């Protein structure tokens, strides 16, 4: 995931224009009593900027783009009242979870700290990052200082990481190495180490449930479950992760949300690997039907639901073939033809 202050492509320039239009719309129509602040000015006031965690489900599906959020900043510099203006559904919650942790310096009006309203744009780039050399034991190390003259010396107190920064760093390193599993262009990926990183990420977030919230815990369990299912070939252990994910899903998502459907689908895949065919059939059918209903309820996200349904049906066809139900499999496969 890459957050860019200034966009280079024509497409992103159009989104920048959209941000400006929305900003001026707030001011022109007086949607709130709080003063609107230009995004460029607001950016200069940021003291803590947390980058959004790219949902691996969205990245694997090639879902990228920009999410534009409108929100308020209190006189104390805290973010609240976040509203999505535009952006892919599968990326919106990740953007919200990041921005709500931003901190701002006081915005002064006549010398007095004043709450204000502004807009921010966060970009999610589905392009894979350069390959990570997983054989390098220091590949995920983060230097304490950029000054080579201070190498090996004690780090001054004001440069030392806080406990929260250490937790954030550990969380980010595990997420990065967990993602290596899905970077198929990297022939040097260390599958055991990456699976272990996925496990550590789950353990970390389960032990610190308030550190990032349920959305990241849900994604972590899903990612670890997939790592166990597709790379470690441990379907029983994978099922346990998907079961934990399904328990957490209602805290943030509705049954017709794509994230909820993905959890049910993946649990069905684990059941199929364990030859629990009746349970697998139930989950895959539920996921497939929910994707149809979800598309009807959210036509703006139709493309995402269609892409998801295509993958669910592929899993369902595989299950039917496994059961020897070739005619049913052929009929279901036919529904995917244009």
CATH classification number, 1-127, choose in 3.40.50.300, 3.30.2420.10, 3.30.360.10, 3.40.630.30: 3.30.2420.10
* 71-80 average pLDDT score: 92
Q: Inform me whether the pLDDT recorded for 246 exceeds 70.
A: yes
Cβ atoms of 37 and 118 within 8 Å: the answer is yes
DSSP reduced 3-state for 292: helix
* pLDDT at 131 (0 to 100): 56
Give the model confidence (pLDDT) of 99-127 as tens digits.
988 999 888 888 888 999 999 988 888 77
Cβ atoms of 102 and 49 within 8 Å: the answer is yes
DSSP string, 9-52: SHHHHHHHHHHHHHHHHHHHHT-SSSPB--HHHHHHTEEE-PPP
Q: What sign has the CA pseudo-torsion 285, 291, 296, 302?
A: negative
- Of the candidates 261, 285, 265, 194, the residue with the CA atom closest to the CA atom of residue 232: 194
Q: Inform me whether the pLDDT recorded for 134 exceeds 90.
A: no
Alpha carbon distance 56, 47 (integer Å): 28
* pLDDT at 17 (0 to 100): 46
Taking CA atoms, 157 is separated from 5, 82, 144, 160, 170, in Å, by 30, 35, 12, 5, 20
DSSP reduced 3-state for 146: coil
Give the model confidence (pLDDT) of 276-334 as tens digits.
999 999 999 999 999 999 999 988 888 888 888 999 999 999 999 988 999 888 888 88
Cβ atoms of 146 and 97 within 8 Å: the answer is no
- The overall average pLDDT reported for the chain is 78
pTM for the full predicted model: 0.58
Q: Inform me whether the pLDDT recorded for 97 exceeds 50.
A: yes
Alpha carbon distance 104, 71 (integer Å): 13
* pLDDT at 155 (0 to 100): 45
Query: Rg for the chain (alpha carbons), in Å?
Result: 22
Least confident of 74-83, 163-172, 226-235, 249-258: 163-172
Q: Inform me whether the pLDDT recorded for 5 exceeds 50.
A: no
Give the model confidence (pLDDT) of 39-72 as tens digits.
888 888 898 888 888 887 777 667 788 888 999 9
Cβ atoms of 313 and 334 within 8 Å: the answer is no
Residue 106: half-sphere exposure toward Cβ, Cα within 13 Å: 9
Q: Inform me whether the pLDDT recorded for 163 exceeds 50.
A: yes
Cβ atoms of 268 and 320 within 8 Å: the answer is no
Least confident of 1-10, 96-105, 157-166, 191-200: 1-10
Domain boundary assignment for the chain: 1-127
Least confident of 178-182, 222-226, 263-267: 178-182
Alpha carbon distance 14, 6 (integer Å): 12
- Write the CB contacts of 240 (distance below 8 Å, at least 6 apart in sequence): 225
Q: Inform me whether the pLDDT recorded for 336 exceeds 60.
A: yes
- Of the candidates 193, 191, 192, 219, the residue with the CA atom closest to the CA atom of residue 206: 219
């Amino acid at each position: 995931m890459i957050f860019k202050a200034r966009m280079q492509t024509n497409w992103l320039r159009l989104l920048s224009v959209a941000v400006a239009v929305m900003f001026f719309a707030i001011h022109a129509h007086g949607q709130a009593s709080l003063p609107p602040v230009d995004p460029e000015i607001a950016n200069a006031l940021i003291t803590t900027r947390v980058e959004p965690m790219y949902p691996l489900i969205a990245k694997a599906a090639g879902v990228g783009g920009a999410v534009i959020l409108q929100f308020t900043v209190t006189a104390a510099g805290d973010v609240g009242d976040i509203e999505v203006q535009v952006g892919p559904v599968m990326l919106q919650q990740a953007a919200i979870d990041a921005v709500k942790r931003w901190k701002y310096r006081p915005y002064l009006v006549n010398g007095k700290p004043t709450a204000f309203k502004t807009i921010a744009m966060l970009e999610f780039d589905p392009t894979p990052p350069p390959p990570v050399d997983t054989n390098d034991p220091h590949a995920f190390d983060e230097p304490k200082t950029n000054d080579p003259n201070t190498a090996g010396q004690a780090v001054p107190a004001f440069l030392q990481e806080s406990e929260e920064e250490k937790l954030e760093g550990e969380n980010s390193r595990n997420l990065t190495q967990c993602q290596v599993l899905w970077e198929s262009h990297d022939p040097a990926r260390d599958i055991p180490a990456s699976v272990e990183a996925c496990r550590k990420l789950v353990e970390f977030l389960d032990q610190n449930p308030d550190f990032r919230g349920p959305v990241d815990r849900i994604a972590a369990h899903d990612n670890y479950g997939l790592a166990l299912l597709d790379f470690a070939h441990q379907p029983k252990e994978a099922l346990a992760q998907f079961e934990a994910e399904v328990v957490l899903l209602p805290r943030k998502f509705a049954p017709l949300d794509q994230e909820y459907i993905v959890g049910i689908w993946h649990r069905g895949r684990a059941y199929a690997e364990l030859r629990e065919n009746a349970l697998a059939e139930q989950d895959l059918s539920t996921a497939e039907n929910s994707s149809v209903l979800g598309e009807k309820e959210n036509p703006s996200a139709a493309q995402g639901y269609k892409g998801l349904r295509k993958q669910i049906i592929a899993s369902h066809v595989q299950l039917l073939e496994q059961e020897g139900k070739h005619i049913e499999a052929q009929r279901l496969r036919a529904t995917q033809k244009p």
